[in-house]
Amino acid sequence: MGNGIDYSAVQRYFELAGAGSSSAASYMAHDQNLPAAAIRYRFAVELKTIGDWLDAVPADGAVLDVGCGAGAWTALFAQRFGRVIGIEGSESMVTAAKDRTQDLENVEILQGDVRQDLPDGPFALVFLGGLCMYLNDDDVVTLLTSLKERCRPDAAIVLRESTVPERSRQAEGEYQAVYRTVAEYQQLFRRVGFSDVQLRRNLGYTSMEIAIELVEMRRRWLPFLPASSQWLGALTWWPLRLTAPLSFRRLPRALDRLNVPWPGLQNHFFRLSV
């Protein structure tokens, strides 16, 4: 699994998505019309999930944000660390990331393909937020090897990737991505030579995925309602958000315990010690 990504389709997809609502597309919330509050909530939960990993990075260190999208994490890193470089393939996303970080003097946004255009280090932190899911297995290994070479000896590489509980699968067509299991990611990390790997479930992502699945159900079961509607997107999000302890925390954990694979997509953070 993970050897059939059409890279030009990935490039095309993010070019178009980034030209619309770039920050929503960067966080994959655009297709279901979820409100901006859903993105902010997911981001806040994610930040909390890896807060201690970021606290451990020296404040004067340099950070590389690989596939930085519209630059949400790039801007956050710039407020905490000495220097940040974001690299991104899609021109529309690059424009959005430059706009977002224009007042931050310690940020540089580069347009390039991460498979060949990586800047030199050394970096104290390398972040890949939803990037390896758009790369074939061998390219993940080559990329992580190149990133490792650009790291300080005390650095960490942090990845945030969509995962599946059981069998890996691939999305084909206009939107191409490979959804690997956690075990498959760990196997790729071993191929690069990483032995110290920490893992955390990303419940911030799950919150958004629950809302996405409900929007898709509404589209299937109530086809007479408008498929695309900001109003219906908000109406799906807010009841879930207002019952977050139940809907976003207890429910996914209970379903996990019962081995019910819903929502079908999960997401994990990985921390690789260099």
Positions touching ligand SAM (CB under 6 A) are 10, 14, 26-28, 67-69, 72-73, 88-90, 93, 113-115, 129-131, 134
Which CB atom, from 162 or from 232, has the smaller least distance to ligand SAM? 162
**Pick 69 or 204: Cβ nearer ligand SAM:** 69
Nearer to ligand SAM, 73 or 237 (CB): 73
Beta strands in the chain (DSSP E): 62-66, 83-88, 107-111, 123-129, 151-163, 169-171, 177-179, 197-201, 266-273
CB of 268 to ligand SAM, least distance (A): 14
Residues 6+ apart with CB under 8 A from 6: 176
Pairing mode of beta strands 177-179, 197-201: unpaired
Min dist. Cβ of residue 242 to ligand SAM (A):
25
Q: Which is nearer to ligand SAM, 5 or 215 (CB)?
A: 5
The residue with its CB nearest to ligand SAM is: 69
> Mapping DSSP to helix (H, G, I), strand (E, B) and coil, where does residue 223 land?
coil
- Using a CB cutoff of 8 Å and minimum separation of 24, what contacts does 224-230 make? 228/33, 229/33, 230/33, 230/35
In the complex, what is the shortest distance from the CB of residue 90 to ligand SAM, in angstroms, rounded to a whole number?
4
| In the complex, minimum distance from the CB of residue 189 to ligand SAM, in angstroms, rounded to a whole number | 19
Rounded distance between C-alpha atoms, residue 126 and residue 267, angstroms: 18
